[in-house]
Structure 1
Amino acid sequence: MNVWYVSYGSNICEERFLCYINGDIPEGSTKRERGCIDKTPPIETGKAELPYSLFFAKERSKWGEGGVAFIDQERTEDHPTFGRKYLITAEQFYDVVAQENNMHTVEIDLEKVIKEGSLSMADGWYGQIVYLGKENGYPMFTFTLNSKESQNKTTYNRPSITYLSMIIRGLKELGMGKEEVIKYLMDKNGIKEYFTEETLKAYVE
């Protein structure tokens, strides 16, 4: 079974995402990803739009001091999140979810996710699996904070520069120009409280 994994954080940079497939250390990270059992590259990739707002939270990650990206679970048409979709096998998706949540393995009932719209399956930072609909006959999934953490949302926090730079790189890969990237990021919680357009511009150049 093939599925679309829809990313919105650092994985929108294809080179970074492939570290989860192949097993490698992403540029700017301190952790080597173990990789998927099946290291076949994505069948297809492309731009995606998620009807959920993007925010940055948590205090420290493998990218250093600072927050990382999550999406809220309240649907919104006014503040969509731009992402990148990868057509991979369901087994590869399970491996990616496990790596994101620092787990060895994970089992996900994707049919239940489709039926219920989302499903909390782990206590990790990205333990909530979200169904985004279908495209070209394949179901689309992403993940974010589990429902409990989302409802008791942690304080927004600015991302580390290494992490933010990876997201900016990914947005550019998706065809966004410098001004588009700045405009997109400046209304995000965790960015707008800590950056001005001028200071953000220095990292988009």
Structure 2
Amino acid sequence: MDHVWYVAYGSNLAMARFRCYLSGGRPAGGARVYPGCRDRTAPTGTEGVLVPGGLVFAGASKVWGGGSAFYNPQAATQLAGRAYLITTDQFADVAAQEMWREPGGAYALQLAAILPEVIELHALGSGRYETVVRLGERNGIPLYTITHGTVADLAPVAPTASYLHWIATGLIEAHGWELAQVVDYLHTAPGVQLGWTPGALLSALNGNAGRGG
């Protein structure tokens, strides 16, 4: 299995932000410089996808402050994601960086080795993004994302404006949504209501979505 679809649903929805994972660098508004993947080749394809489940914000993001985005496979909604066609090793390196581990290190090598065997869900550990979820196939190639293994048990936490800017940018890029549709989608995610009214969310995103925060 040389290539997989990596399904992003948080700030990596935005291509410019995802490039920091691929080729290294610090995203605007973020507090971290990413080392990048061993293979810094751009994705060979990208598509907007909708999958069963939902978006939730919880925990504490070291990059953005506020809650981090997680995928809850059990939610009775739909998750708006963006599928990037990348190599298996790139996927493993992206996942390693999510956990502040070295691209090409032991964790990345372990993940790349077990990925073809993941039928539905596999937990490599109890960390924030150490559970791999298979979301079916697209054009005969498997779709995978990563999330927290017990996401349904996490207490929701409001995300920050800079984080939401990147997510909104990616939703517009991947799905062609108007800003009002982005606000409707985000405001239904657990955690967002704790810090944002729909009006405040619209004001925060207006003029920033589409420009990478």
Cα distance in 1 between the residues matched to 2:161 and 2:187: 15
Is 1:121 paired with 2:119? Answer: no
- Equivalent residue for 1:86? 84
SS at match of 1:34: coil
- Bigger drift between 195-204 and 17-26 goes to 195-204
Q: How many aligned residue pairs are there?
A: 197
CA shift, 1:192, in A, is 2.1
1:80 and 1:187 mapped to 2: Cα distance?
A: 11
Q: How does 1:22-37 map to 2 (within 5 A)?
A: 22-37=23-38
8 A contact 1:21–1:36 mirrored in 2: yes
Corresponding residue number in structure 2 for 1:178: 179
Q: Aligned-pair distance for 1:195?
A: 1.5
Counterpart in 1 of 2:39? 38
**Structure 1 segments (4+ residues) deviating >2 Å:** none
Structure 2 counterparts to residues 37-186 of structure 1, below 5 A: 37-64=38-65, 66-74=66-74, 76=76, 79-104=77-102, 105=105, 106=107, 107-108=110-111, 109-114=114-119, 117-146=120-149, 149-150=150-151, 153-174=153-174, 175-186=176-187
SS in 2 for 1:156: coil
Find the residue that maps to 1:195 and give its secondary structure. Answer: coil
**Counterpart-to-counterpart distance in 2, 1:68 and 1:3:** 24
Q: Deviations over 1:81-102 (max 9, x none)?
A: 1011100000000000000011
Taking the aligned partners of 1:160 and 1:75, their CA distance within structure 2 comes to: 22
Distance 2:202 2:5 in 1: 32
SS of corresponding position for 1:74 = coil
CA distance in 2: counterparts of 1:97 and 1:122, whole angstroms: 12
Alpha-carbon separation, structure 2, partners of 1:198 and 1:30: 27
Mark the runs of 5 or more structure 1 residues left unpaired by the alignment: none
Residue 12 of structure 1 and its aligned partner are, at CA, apart by 0.1
**1:55/1:122 CA distance change after superposition, 3 Å:** same
Contact 1:24 1:32 (C-alpha < 8 Å) held by counterparts: yes
The alpha carbon displacement at 1:140 in A equals 0.4
- The residue type paired with residue 121 of structure 2 is S
TM-score (norm 2): 0.88
SS of residue in 2 equivalent to 1:70: strand
Structure 2 Cα separation of the partners of residues 163 and 204 of structure 1: 10
1:140-160 Cα shifts (integer Å, max 9, x gaps): 0001002xx335x22100001
SS class of match (1:192):
helix
